[in-house]
Amino acid sequence: MTERDMERVYRQVNEAWPDGPHRGYRYWREPQFDAREATIAVKRLWKHATGKPLAIRGLVKLTSGNRRNRFRRGIFNPQRGWHGLVHSVSHAAHRRLHPDDPDHIGRHAYLERRLIEYAVARKWHEGARKRPEKPMPTKADQRTRRQAALRARLAKWEAKQRRAETAIRKLKGRIRRHERGGG
CA distance 154 to 148: 10
Prediction pTM value: 0.61
Burial of 118 (0-12, 13-18, 19+ CB in 10 A): middle
Report pLDDT digits (tens) over 27-60.
455 556 777 777 788 888 889 999 988 877 666 6
Helix 106-121 vs helix 35-50: crossing angle, to nearest 10: 130
Report pLDDT digits (tens) over 58-69.
666 666 666 655
pLDDT band for position 21 (cuts 50, 70, 90)? very low
The residue among 10, 107, 89, 102 whose CA lies nearest residue 48 is 89
- What are the structural domain ranges in the chain? 3-126, 139-183
